[in-house]
Every structure is written in structure tokens, then in C-alpha cells.
Amino acid sequence: MKKHKVTFRFETEPGKELTVEINQGDTVLDAAHDNNIHLNHNCGAVCACSTCQVYIDKGMDDLPEISDKEEDFIDRAINPRINSRLGCQCVINADIEVTIPDQSTIIGH
């Protein structure tokens, strides 16, 4: 199976960077949780909330196109940006770089 790299940065820890290798077809949320990186996911990864929002720093064009449903939930997220996506919807088909927003104001798991 083809592997890709996901580089995580953290809004609350400037300068910290962690790169992990994952299987093609996994999501950003999978990559985080498989590597003990905290990223909330209250709805269980079914695109029904906004808690797994991430900022895509590099690789946006390699992700599946954003759905209307995902866009609606991003609009409800804390501090959404033009490069916001939901980690559960970001199926990885190439190397990607993401920043995890501050998780401290999100109630969840």
C-alpha cells in the first residue's frame, strides 16, 4: 500500500512539528489518532460537527473537493479560515501539511 507523509503543526505550540507516515486513503483524523496526536472528533468522524477542523498549510489541491455539508460545519467551527477543512473528510492521496487549531476551547474527545 502506498504511504504518504502528514506534517502536523500546532497553533498552541509554535515551532513544534511532527511528521508521520500513513497509508493512502486514510484521513487527517486517522493520522492524528493513529499517532497519539490530540484532535477532537465529537461526531465519530461522520461529518456531523466541526470539532476536527484543521488548517491545511500545504496539499489542499490533493484533497477531495469540499462538500456542501462539510462547508456548513466549517462555518460553525471556532476561528474558521479560508484553508479550513474537517480532518475526518480529508482523505490523503499525497503528502500534506496541516495545523491543528487550539483544542482547549472545544469540549469533546
Residue 54 belongs to domain with CATH number = 3.10.20.30
How sure is the predictor about 109, in pLDDT bands with cuts at 50, 70 and 90? low
Domain extent for 59: 29-97
Q: What's the predicted TM-score (pTM) here?
A: 0.93
Task: Round to whole Å and give the CA distance between 76 and 65.
Answer: 19
Is residue 108 a part of any domain in this protein?
no
Within a domain: residue 82?
yes
Evaluate whether residue 106 is within a structural domain. Answer: no
- Does any domain span residue 17? no
Burial class (CB in 10 A: 0-12, 13-18, 19+), 22: buried
| The pLDDT of residue 106 | 73
In a domain, 91, yes or no: yes
Residue 105 lies in a domain: no
> Which position has the higher pLDDT, 32 or 108?
32
**Residue 16: inside a domain:** no
Q: Total domain count for the chain?
A: 1
Report which DSSP code applies to 107.
-
CA-wise closest residue to 83 among 59, 109, 106, 104? 59
Task: Evaluate the CA torsion angle 2, 74, 38, 8 in order and state its sign.
Answer: positive
For residue 89, tell me if it sits in a domain.
yes
Average pLDDT, whole number, for the chain?
A: 94
Q: In this predicted model, what pLDDT tens digit does every residue of 54-70 receive, in sequence order?
A: 999 999 999 999 999 99
CA dihedral 75, 79, 105, 44 (to 10 degrees): 40
28 membership: H or E segment, kind and range: helix 28-34
pLDDT tens track for 12-52: 999 999 999 999 999 999 999 999 999 999 998 999 999 99
What is the predicted pLDDT for the residue at 38? 93
